[in-house]
Structure 1
Amino acid sequence: MRYYIGVVHQEGDSAFGIHFPDVPGCFSAAADGLDDLLPNASEALALHLEDEPLPSARTMDAVRSDEDVAQDLEGGAFLLAVPFFRLSGRTTKANITMDAGLLTAVDQTAKARGLTRSAFLADLARREIVG
């Protein structure tokens, strides 16, 4: 999996904002708190890079040494590694094994949320991967 390093800003009581030095024009925010920033940023990367060639992703140390980023860091910003994965747009059947009681709980929870088992498990996987 590829990670892009984001520069996170917040001024006063404003939302957290993030931009990616290696992905010009891609930015995101989280108005409700820092916990929402990582999934929002990952989604922004996926949407911004959809059908685009992937730019090189520098290491955190390389991004940190960038002159503009260093200036942001001096101003109170911090860095965040954001996972990127490209969805293919096609589904693949998978055979999984789990405890029968857990599978029953998965099915009940999925049904209560109006989802299929597959949609529920895929959503859980995306959220776990993103953090």
Structure 2
Amino acid sequence: MSSRYYPIILERTEDGLNATFPDFPGLTAFGVNAADVVAHAETGLALHIAGMIEDGDTIPEPSDIDAVPVDEEAPPEAGRLLVRADLPGRAVRVNVTIDEALLAAIDAEAKLRDTSRSGFLAAAARRELAQRAA
């Protein structure tokens, strides 16, 4: 996996902080404090990128945090931070042992979703890891 660091723009709300992602329009995160909003931002970004990868979309390069223009129509900024995103590296072949009935169920579900066994297992693993991080 390779890591990238994407900027988020923080805005103060009555209940905490809202974060927007200049490189991912429409993606937002909320937290009651900076640590909370960063944790939610990283989890949301990981899920968003996983979805983009599944859809075959290109993952954008991170913007320079200082080069992102100030949005004059948005509420005043409370700050700018970088959040980490881990992007998948090259595919590696592995050998695993799994119950044959479970494997048949995985293959059937992968076929319904128009993906491969490997793609299905990788997506399931990403969801589990993201859920644990949240």
Equivalent position of 2:9 in the other structure = 7
Consecutive unaligned residues in structure 1, runs of 5 or more? 93-122
1:15 to 1:51, Cα distance in 2 relative to 1, 3 A: same
Equivalent position of 2:65 in the other structure = 60
SS state of the match for residue 66, structure 2? helix
How much does 1:82 deviate? 0.7
Task: Work out the CA distance in 2 between the residues paired with 1:56 and 1:9.
Answer: 23
1:80 to 1:14, Cα distance in 2 relative to 1, 3 A: same
How much does 1:87 deviate? 5.8
Consecutive unaligned residues in structure 2, runs of 5 or more? 53-57, 95-128
Q: What TM-score do you get using the length of structure 1 for normalisation?
A: 0.55
Alignment of structure 1 residues 1-131 onto 2, 5 Å: 1-11=3-13, 13-31=14-32, 33-52=33-52, 53-63=58-68, 66-68=69-71, 71=72, 75-86=76-87
Task: Work out the CA distance in 2 between the residues paired with 1:2 and 1:72.
Answer: 28
Q: Which amino acid aligns with 1:25?
A: G
How much does 1:55 deviate? 1.4
Q: Which amino acid aligns with 1:62?
A: A
Alignment coverage as a number of residue pairs: 89
SS state of the match for residue 82, structure 2? strand
Q: Which has the higher strand share?
A: 2
| Residues 99-125 of structure 1: per-residue CA shift (max 9 Å, x gap) | xxxxxxxxxxxxxxxxxxxxxxxx8xx
Task: Work out the CA distance in 2 between the residues paired with 1:18 and 1:76.
Answer: 10
1:21 to 1:14, Cα distance in 2 relative to 1, 3 A: same
Task: Work out the CA distance in 1 between the residues paired with 2:5 and 2:35.
Answer: 18
SS state of the match for residue 84, structure 2? strand
Task: Work out the CA distance in 1 between the residues paired with 2:41 and 2:21.
Answer: 9
Q: What TM-score do you get using the length of structure 2 for normalisation?
A: 0.54
